[in-house]
Structure 1
Amino acid sequence: MLTKQKLFKFIGIGTFLFILLFILSVTALYFSVKWGAFGQIPDKEILADIRHQTASRVYSTDRKLMGVYFAENRTNTRLEQINPQFIEALLAIEDIRFYEHNGVDRRSLMRVLVRSILLRQDAGGGSTLTQQLAKNLYPRQSASRLGLVISKFREIIIAKKLESIYSKEEILELYLNTVTFGEETFGLEAGSRRFFNTTPANLTLTQSATLAGMLKGTTSHNPRLYPERAKTRRNLVISQMKKYDYISAEKAEKAREQPLGLMYRSDTHTEGIAPYFRQHLRSELQKLLESTPALDGNIYNLYTDGLKIVTTIDSRLQKAADKAVKKHLTTLQKQFDLHWTSSDLFIQNKVLLDRMWKVSEHYEKLTEKGLSEEKINQIRHTKTPMLIHTHEGMVEKELSPDDSIRHYLSFLHAGFFAIDANDGAVRAWTGGSNYRFFQYDHVKSKRQTGSAFKPFVYAAALQNGVQPCDYYRNVQTVYEAYQGWRPQNISNEYGGRYSVQASLAKSINTIAVELLMQNGFKPVEDLVRQAGITSDIPAKPSLALGANSANLLEMVQAYSVFASEGKALTPYYIESIYNSDGQLIYDFSNHSEEKYVLETEIAQTMTKMLQKVVDEGTANALRNRFQLSGDIAGKTGTSQNNADGWFVGYTPELVFGSWVGGSLPFIRFRSSSLGSGSRTALPICGYFLQDLANHPEYNNKSIFFSGNEYIGLNTDCEAYREERFVDRFRDFFRGDSERTERRELEEEKPRRRLIDRIRGR
């Protein structure tokens, strides 16, 4: 039988052997990790060349941050650009002995080892900032207890190497550019912008404490998700700062009483300035970087190389465009919904509703549950509370799933696009009212142009010798060669004679078609191709009324020929690109050569005529309703059955256009009094131009040209004349009051230059 003395001796030997075995095991495990038994340890050469994946940032021409492209949302910052209070908050809560250890805090390390191995508890904490940097650079691969210990040893080994390569300040800088704040946000710069919309240099004490406190758990202490928990953690950081004499007791007490003051800003691609534009820019940048070497000869990656992309977008004009689209669509949608209150918009489109229902996620879930079609149909028409998107934001309503489909299908959409009238720089690009919900870009969507296309018919006619003060009869003509097609005026009024310029201002369809048929299709096609329209141009009389389809990009570019006195402008949207070191790697200052596609005399004449549209014609609301002064030219457009509304116009500084319509052609107003382009699209440009009064360089006070600068054709004539007796006499003997002719497309007339016409050649 063991005596008490022998028992103690046995326990002592056992404890000694256990401790010895423990030490030998830990030592063996440590050296196994160091020698690569559990994965290669990076050498000093690799660690001396640390490169982070860095987000590329997009800026406006006035240097406002528009958004980022990233694999990891990270922007590097230098230590001297960080408020020292953040560094103090970080050290107080994470590593108070940072400047004393060589990468490993032995006291904390022993605590972690004992808790992990002996007590079999979560190791938690204990890592120095250098070890955390090692973890950020080489993330842990296993969550098991043994895996955590191996990871700790890897981090210790890497931390020691880092300390031998970098200074303490360099380690801090590396750490602050790798640390995550959750939500795919990496680095203090991105974290500061995400949660407080500021820079590291401008962080306040409370903001610094909040961000430092998040590092213990980026989800559990996220101030957006768990504000109370985040505030408690922030106050702990403040107490630690007081404990280590970084701040006074009075300052700490005052800081603890402050609210979180969250100013959350999402950096997703759906947020920020001009998201529709940035999505278009993304694909263009990828093509550029893949196909064209930079000035330094290198190939760059848009998502990882931290590029700075300066665009031509003016953030002030972009804001004005977004505001104008939202303001007008909010009002117009209410008018549209009221317009269809007494009728069913979808009465002839039930098949579409059924198809949309059967491809919906809701229907798919119901069928997966094995419900019968009868039960599914009952659910489809059962009203329940639901959140729906409107132009004014999210609203809760009692709707059935079928009502929801109807709601989103009947949404009105809009696009707005503006370029500089001098060089084609893109200044504003709004593809819709809300990119988060509607990502289809209506700057690039092709829709029927309506009367917005007429100026090209008139310009081609002027090139072929027609004068602004020539008079044409406002009578209907049947074009038998084109299935007996007969153009109608929107007012359905006929008679009398209009000058060419007045027929454009009043948008007289019969005369526009007459001009096209008189001068031929080819001159029109040649002009619009050179002006920038690449979409199909149908060779039929209805082309004069905009039976063709085009997008805002094409239409605004084409109108710029008039604004720039005949010069074809190519829209461009990148000014320059810099690498992460600030070196210029792409320069687009010389983006294009001047190319004239229209005689200056004709371009100036068209500007005079399009000014009449604004001053006296279909775009007169810009003067009356919006009280705009200064020179403005432009043309409204309405497609068949009021499906599309257009206004394309220009001032001496800008060329711009807006389109409004539904996602499908049957989403439309029933009457032209409500659905014409002057009512649906023009107000967006009106609001936009009103906003420009706040910006001196775009205040609409300038003029196109002074009297002695005008070298165009004579436009000084009356708009309307009664029909001549001889015209009525001819109609009488034709036996009808409507002119009916069998019109074939005449042989194209050769185009004569203005100087040749003057000389009588």
Structure 2
Amino acid sequence: MSNNKELRHKFLLWFWGVVSAPFVLLLLVFSLIGLGVFGPLPTFEQLENPSSNLATEIISEDGQLLGTFYVQNRSFVNYDEISPNLVGALLSTEDVRFYNHSGIDFRGLTRVFVKTIIMGNESQGGGSTISQQLAKQLFPRDTSSRSGLVRKMNLVVTKFKEWIVAVKLERNYTKEEILAMYLNMVPFGNNAWGVKTAAKIYFDKTPADLTAEESALLVGMLNAPSRYNPVRHEERATAKRNFVLEKMYSNDLLSSDQLDSLSALPIKLKFSPMDNTGGIAPYFREMLRIVLTAKKPSSSDYWDQAQYEADLERWNTDPLYGWCNKNLKPDGTPYNIYKDGLKIYTTVNSKLQRYAEEALKDHMANTVQKEFDAQQKRSNYRIYSNDIDNAKAKELLAIAVKQTDRYRNLRNAGASEEEIDRSFNTPTDMTVFSYKGDVDTTLTPMDSIKYYKRFLRASFVAIEPQTGNVKAWVGGPSFEYFKYDQVYQGRRQVGSTFKPFLYTLAMQEGMKPCDQVPNVPVTFDMGPDQEPWSPKNAYTKYLEKYNGQMVTLKFGLAHSINNISAYLMKQYSPQAVVDLAHKMGIHSPLDPVVSICLGPSDITLLEMVSSYGTFVNKGVHVEPITVLRIEDKHGNTLASFAPQKNEAINDQTAYVMIEMLKGVVHGGTAAKLTYQYKVPGDVAGKTGTTNNNSDGWFIGITPRLVAGTWVGGEERSIHLTNRGEGAAVAMPVFAKFITKVYNDATIPLKPNLSFERPSVMPDVTFDCTSQPAEEPTKDDEFFQ
């Protein structure tokens, strides 16, 4: 009897030992995990503030997403901004008991144990709750290569860690917060991290507007974004979408009729992939990236002392320049635009930006580049102008070769000059730019350099003069292929667009638009050992009859007569012109020489357009501003920005110059703006063309917008066509742009707005037709 009791006792000990062993082992493992034996667990602070690489969003003034800076292209969205369709699709497919568990679904746990542990099928992993999947996203698994038992043990420990983190997440967050965090974390392919970015990229929608079928498509992509990518694998993605719809039907989220009708629908995408080279306003976005991340200038990094001093002054005076490095987060580290989820609210208007890009591309592709291509063909595809001999042309191409990444990489790899030369002359498969779309071809790298030099470059910028807000920014014809930004990086000779500064000085000193001056050559004594200088008029046949005549200053500016500019230069010092130009917004170096009256100075398009805004804004110059405020990922304002202002000229002089510049578009060099392009309303402006048609300029002025265009070759020795004056190559971009703007009823910029006349205005005559100087008519050759 005692033996039976002893056997029974041993049996019970063994039985309960075997039964309880897994639980004891499980408890032991959990205890060891909690003690950090298998690696640290997330702290409470980490759970409260889970780290994730949130993309910085660049937002237009009208609330449109212009683009993002990212390591992972992820933007944050709150639960109440997510469509119920998406939540229903997710829970029906991934975690139908989500609201009934506390982080671990024990039914799913059994399936995980059988498939993953016993069967060794690591790809299954089914049964993971949304909370566990979120834990895996927030605190990724160790993916280092292991094999055999070690790998399986590591997988078990990692899974246990995820359970613990999932339970902690459930304790620290509501169910809705967990769903939002999950949908903000998961990848959807095509550089889309999180549902906000995915909705934008695939459907051009917000998450709140997603339909049931769109939600099912996105949820179907979660486990394998590449396999179920609707762009590349439409049939496969459709089948997966319909599977998710069936799950929604099973959970009473869809009726039978809805399931049938939605399953029969084809996939309808508005696919607009986001990257740093495509999308809207790429030059503007790149400018912001460079400016925000700039570091404090160090003289050792500069070979140009003047540029170092200019950048250092900008560091000290411009709060946006180097903002990320001048401002620290609460933890003492600099802001990171690629990870911190900032929101940068800009001044750019998305509609004006699109119109600017369309206008520039239209004119360059259909007119300017075609004419230049025809000229190239006539010259046997000689890239440079005729005043560049073959030896110099070869030297210029050699310089271009040394500026390429290919050359630098080969040099760094130790290649000889012979090997480099052979590489640049070996045919290579490549994709090249064309206005009709990218072209796959085979060229030698040397031929590709020549190919791209045959494309003329162009830029455009529009500014609201009263606020300094930059409304549109186009740095070139294609950011992907021509990354150099001609709005603010490129300085080119401005030609006759500089003349208004000289005329402004004259008006400020008491001269009047209808004052008559002699249209005769003017000679300047250039000092000892130098030849006298006498600027010549640009050859324009219709103006010949005015040579030697008395003409008005208004006429001289309207027709950009060099004799009149030279006459005015005789009256004032070059330094006075330089000082005035600087007050009006020109920051580029200006030499105080008499030739400044013809615009030989190198200035950026941004500076020129900004300075012309002074005329509209009653003589007050407003520095261009591109960012209104920066917010953190929680919506807290980190910085606000306001433009710098200074009174450059009095309001009477500013208005007189507006009237003078109106004469340029009503009978002057920009007359086609009104009689051919039919631009209505109050409009003024100035054309500019440099020697040998190297550069073509036009700056247009309206009561609420000032915009400018530059067109030219990559190098000054690449000249525009014989019709390369600013009125032909640059002005039409402004005309096409402003016409699009005026035709858009949703934009409050209309031709019925007028330039504001000062409340106190001296008696100045602007109608000079009663003067002896004759105004040309449309019958003159100039207008043909």
Range into which the TM-score falls when normalised by the shorter chain? 0.7 to 0.9
**1:401 Cα deviation (Å)?**
4.2
2:743 is matched with 694
Structure 1 residues 46 and 451: CA distance shift in structure 2, 3 A: closer
Counterpart of 1:563 in structure 2 is 616
Paired residue secondary structure (1:185): coil
Q: Which moved more, 1:463-472 or 1:679-688?
A: 463-472
- DSSP 3-state at the match of 2:586: coil
Letter in 2 for 1:451: S
User: Is the CA contact (8 Å cut-off) linking 1:449 and 1:646 kept in structure 2?
Assistant: yes
CA contact (8 A) 2:655 2:758 kept: no
1:304 Cα deviation after fit = 4.2
User: CA 1:158/1:649 → structure 2, altered by over 3 Å: closer, same or farther?
Assistant: same
Q: Which runs of 5 or more residues in structure 2 are unaligned? A: 1-13, 293-319, 385-389, 775-784
Structure 1 residue 442 and structure 2 residue 486: aligned? Answer: yes
Q: Deviations over 1:203-234 (max 9, x none)?
A: 11221111111111222222234333322222
User: Residue 320 and residue 64 in structure 1: after superposition, are their counterparts in 2 closer, same or farther (change >3 A)?
Assistant: same
Q: How does 1:388-427 map to 2 (within 5 A)?
A: 388-396=432-440, 401-427=445-471
Question: For the structure 1 residues 167 and 360, does the alpha-carbon distance in structure 2 shift closer, same or farther, using more than 3 Å as the test?
Answer: closer
Structure 2 residue aligned with 1:32: 32
- Per the TM alignment, residue 15 of structure 1 is displaced from its structure 2 partner at its CA by 14
Equivalence for 2:238: 231
The aligned residue for residue 345 of structure 2 is: 310
2:375 is matched with 339
Q: CA deviation at 1:440?
A: 1.5
Cα distance, 1:426 vs. partner? 1.8
Residue pair 2:712, 2:720 contacting (<8 A) in 1 also: no
Match of 2:779 in 1: none
Partner of 1:5: none
CA contact (8 A) 1:294 1:586 kept: no
Q: Give the aligned partner of residue 582 of structure 2.
A: 529
Relative to structure 1, the CA distance from residue 298 to residue 720 in structure 2 (aligned partners, 3 Å threshold; closer, same or farther) is farther
Q: How many angstroms does 1:544 deviate by?
A: 0.8
Matched, 1:575 2:628: yes
The reply to whether residue 468 of structure 1 matches residue 513 of structure 2 is yes
Distance 2:420 2:682 in 1: 63
Distance 1:477 1:370, change over 3 A: closer
Contact in 1 for aligned 2:424/2:446 (Cα 8 Å): no
8 Å Cα contact 1:419-1:426 kept in structure 2: yes
2:59 equivalent to 1:59: yes
Whether contact under 8 Å (2:372, 2:721) holds in the other structure is no
Deviates more, 1:478-487 or 1:234-243: 478-487
Opposite residue 173 of structure 1, the aligned amino acid is: A
Q: 1:345 to 1:258 in 2, by over 3 A?
A: same
- In structure 2, what is the equivalent of residue 255 of structure 1? 262
Letter in 1 for 2:350: S
Is the 2:75–2:184 Cα contact (8 Å) retained in structure 1? yes
The 1:374–1:304 alpha-carbon spacing in structure 2 relative to 1, beyond 3 Å, is closer
CA drift at 1:635: 0.9
Contact 1:643 1:667 in 2 (8 A): yes
Q: Which of 524-533 and 563-572 deviates more?
A: 563-572
> Deviation at 1:44?
4.4
For 1:549, which of 602, 620, 625 is the aligned residue? 602
Alpha-carbon distance, 1:372 to partner: 11
Aligned equivalents of 1:424, 1:278: Cα separation in 2: 18
Cα distance in 1, alignment partners of residues 221 and 712 from structure 2 = 47
**CA offset at residue 552 of structure 1?**
1.4
2:377 counterpart SS class:
coil
Structure 1: which amino acid aligns with 2:652?
Answer: E
2:710 to 642, 648, 659: 659
**Aligned residue in 1 for 2:301:** none
Any idea what SS the aligned residue of 2:378 has? Answer: coil
Superposition deviation, residue 314 in structure 1: 2.1
Q: For residues 56-100 of structure 1, what are the alpha-carbon distances to aligned partners after superposition, in whole Å with 9 as ceiling and x for unaligned?
A: 333222222222333443322222322222222112221222233
Query: How many angstroms apart in 1 are the aligned matches of 2:670 and 2:67?
Result: 36
Cα separation, 2, equivalents of 1:149 and 1:271? 44
Q: Map of 1:69-468 to 2, 5 A cutoff?
A: 69-126=69-126, 127-142=128-143, 144=146, 145-146=151-152, 147-282=154-289, 283-284=291-292, 285=320, 287-288=322-323, 290-291=325-326, 302-331=337-366, 332-343=368-379, 344-346=382-384, 347=390, 348-357=392-401, 380=425, 387-396=431-440, 401-444=445-488, 445-468=490-513
Counterpart code for 1:263: K
Cα distance in structure 2, aligned partners of 1:630 and 1:437? 37
Counterpart of 1:75 in 2: which secondary structure? coil
SS in 1 for 2:621: coil
Distance 1:573 1:219, change over 3 A: same
Q: For the structure 1 residues 355 and 298, does the alpha-carbon distance in structure 2 shift closer, same or farther, using more than 3 Å as the test?
A: closer
Give the 3-state SS of the residue equivalent to 2:395 in structure 1.
helix
Deviates more, 1:33-42 or 1:445-454: 33-42
Moved more, 573-582 or 18-27: 18-27
**For 1:351, what is the secondary structure of its paired residue?**
helix
1:394-445 deviation per Cα after TM superposition (whole angstroms, max 9, x unaligned): 2356755443222211211111112123232222222122222222211112
1:489 aligns with 2:525: no
Q: 1:340 to 1:232 in 2, by over 3 A?
A: same
Task: Describe the superposition over 1:642-694 as per-residue Cα deviations: whole angstroms up to 9, x where unpaired.
Answer: 111111121111122111111111222253xx111111111111111211222
Query: In structure 2, do the counterparts of structure 1 residues 598 and 370 end up closer, same or farther at CA, with 3 Å as the change threshold?
Result: closer
Matched with 2:571 is 518
Residue 744 of structure 1: aligned partner = none
Aligned mates of 1:607, 1:356 — CA distance in 2: 43
Query: In 2, distance between residues paired with 1:293 and 1:377?
Result: 50
Q: Would the aligned equivalents of 1:83 and 1:201 in 2 still touch at CA under 8 Å?
A: yes
Code of the residue aligned with 1:89 in structure 2: it is A
1:633-648 alignment, distance < 5 Å = 633-648=684-699
Q: Which residue number in structure 2 is paired with residue 684 of structure 1?
A: 733
Structure 2 match to 1:745: none
TM-score by structure 1 length? 0.84
Contact 1:604 1:711 in 2 (8 A): no
> What secondary structure sits across from 1:193 in the alignment?
helix
Which one-letter code corresponds to 1:490 in the other structure?
A: A
Change over 3 Å in CA distance of 1:359–1:25 after alignment to 2: farther
Q: Distance in 2 between matches of 1:123 and 1:653?
A: 61
Cα pair distance change 1:491/1:373, threshold 3 Å: same
Q: CA deviation at 1:638?
A: 0.8
- Per mean C-alpha deviation after superposition, the further-off stretch among 702-711 and 575-584 is 702-711
Q: Name the SS for the 1:68 alignment partner.
A: strand
Contact 2:580 2:648 in 1 (8 A): yes
Moved more, 423-432 or 644-653: 423-432
Q: CA deviation at 1:477?
A: 3.9
Counterpart in the other structure of 1:675: 724
Q: 1:340 is paired with a residue of what secondary structure?
A: helix
In the alignment, which of 672, 677, 680 is matched to residue 621 of structure 1?
A: 672
Task: Report the TM-score when normalising by structure 2.
Answer: 0.82
Secondary structure of the corresponding residue to residue 449 of structure 2 = helix
Using the alignment, how far apart are the partners of 2:212 and 2:465 within structure 1?
A: 48
Tell me the CA shift for residue 377 of structure 1.
5.4
Closer, same or farther: CA 227–719 of 1 in aligned 2, 3 Å: farther
Q: Percent identity?
A: 37
SS of 1:442's partner is: coil
What stretches of structure 1 of length at least 5 have no aligned partner?
Answer: 1-13, 724-761
Deviation at 1:186, TM superposition (A): 2.8
3-state SS, counterpart of residue 212 of structure 1: helix
CA spacing shift, 1:48–1:277, aligned 2, 3 Å: closer
Alpha-carbon distance change, 251 to 148 in structure 1, aligned in 2, over 3 angstroms: same
2:172 partner letter: I
* Superposition deviation, residue 328 in structure 1: 0.9
8 Å contact 1:413–1:661 — kept in the other structure?
A: yes
In structure 1, give the amino acid aligned to 2:469. A
**In the superposition, relative to structure 1, how do residues 108 and 325 fare at CA in structure 2: closer, same or farther (>3 Å)?**
same
